Amino acid sequence: MKLTPRLLNIAKLVPKGSILADVGTDHGYIPVYLMKNKIVEKTIATDVNKGPLLSAQKNIKNNGLEDSIETRLGNGLEPIEPEEIDTVIIAGMGGLLIRDILMNHPKVTKSIKRFILQPMVAQDELRRWLCNNHFKIVEEKLVSEDHRIYEILVVEHGKDEIENEIYFEIGKKLIENKDPLLEIFIKKHIKKQNDIINNLIGQETDKAKNKLNQCKEKIHEFEEVLRWLKN
Ligand SMILES: C[S@@+](CC[C@H](N)C(=O)[O-])C[C@H]1O[C@@H](n2cnc3c(N)ncnc32)[C@H](O)[C@@H]1O
């Protein structure tokens, strides 16, 4: 089975021998890939909806893995017991939903060592929450698929030093590692800020003026990173 670049890069971040849960598994492609390639020791594939879980079960059966991948129906980490897994994947969901999943079952969250998170939106809000709640981003990667750039975060318990607000939007590890997609990624962020500025044209309220200044400040910071990258 061939995984798409997004799913493959998520799978590559799972340490060998992990005891894993893939929360919100949908098709179950990652658990099947990890089990077939003998990367994980044990996998639990969960989903809150019956339809996606059925689709995972079908895929697991087609690959003859029904004895080694367990499927469970339930919301977030609710179907997982504390100390049952050491690694979790929560991918393809919004950053705020990922945050809620981590928040809602603290005993389970506390017992997990490695979190592989792939938020589709609100990445900055997720990073901010992680930083304020004793999590440390130990690795980050950008992946391009279908003209979109996806952000994958590897998180552990610990303390993160975030010296600059910009790291909530552009992960610090992406900058430190000079991620190969960073330049395109930052240019997309600059375009987004310029689009907001264009929409603010003609608005004279204090709120609009503050927003305009914020956008300009962000563009300035993004351009500084771009300059640093080129040196
Ligand atoms: C867009 S799919 C992503 C599937 C897969 N993780 C991926 O990255 O390709 C989102 C899946 O998460 C499931 N989901 C949404 N909220 C959830 C929750 N609170 N707990 C568990 N699963 C959830 C949905 O039913 C859906 O199957």
User: Which of 6, 33, 43, 48 has most ligand 1 atoms within 8 Å of its beta carbon, as the pocket-test mutant?
Assistant: 48
For the CA of 10, the closest atom of ligand 1 is 8
Written as six digits, the tokens of 183 are 């330049």
Looking at residue 163, its pLDDT comes to: 87
Q: pLDDT tens for residues 152-191? A: 999 999 998 888 999 999 999 999 999 999 999 999 999 9
Instruction: Compute, in degrees rounded to 10, the torsion defined by CA atoms 170, 175, 179, 180.
Output: 90
User: Which of 33, 49, 71, 75 has most ligand 1 atoms within 8 Å of its beta carbon, as the pocket-test mutant?
Assistant: 49
C-alpha 145/C-alpha 93 separation (Å) is 16
Looking at residue 210, its pLDDT comes to: 96
For the CA of 120, the closest atom of ligand 1 is 1
Q: Report percent pLDDT > 90 for the chain.
A: 95
Give the total residue count for the chain: 231
Mean pLDDT of 43-69: 97
| Residue 92 Cα to ligand 1 middle (Å) | 6
Mean pLDDT of 23-29: 97
Does pTM top 0.85 for this prediction?
Answer: yes
Q: pLDDT tens for residues 59-112? A: 999 999 999 999 999 999 999 999 999 999 999 999 999 999 999 999 999 999
Looking at residue 231, its pLDDT comes to: 84
Written as six digits, the tokens of 50 are 């019956």
Rounded alpha-carbon distances, angstroms, from residue 152 to 10, 11, 36, 195, 220? 7, 11, 22, 25, 25
User: 31: Cβ–Cβ under 8 A, 6 or more apart, which residues?
Assistant: 20, 22, 25, 40, 43, 45, 56, 60, 65, 69
Mean pLDDT of the chain, nearest integer: 96
For the CA of 118, the closest atom of ligand 1 is 8
Written as six digits, the tokens of 197 are 């500025």
For residue 1, pLDDT beyond 80: no
Looking at residue 40, its pLDDT comes to: 97
Looking at residue 218, its pLDDT comes to: 95
Give me the helices (H) in the chain, please: 5-12, 29-36, 50-62, 95-104, 106-111, 123-132, 166-169, 172-176, 182-200, 206-230
Q: Which helix (H) or strand (E) holds 153?
A: strand 148-157
Per-residue buried b or exposed e for 193-219, using 16+ beta carbons within 10 Å of the residue's own CB: beeeeeebeeeeeeeeeebeeebeebb
C-alpha 127/C-alpha 153 separation (Å) is 9
In the Cβ-directed half-sphere of 11, how many Cα atoms lie within 13 Å?
23
Looking at residue 161, its pLDDT comes to: 86
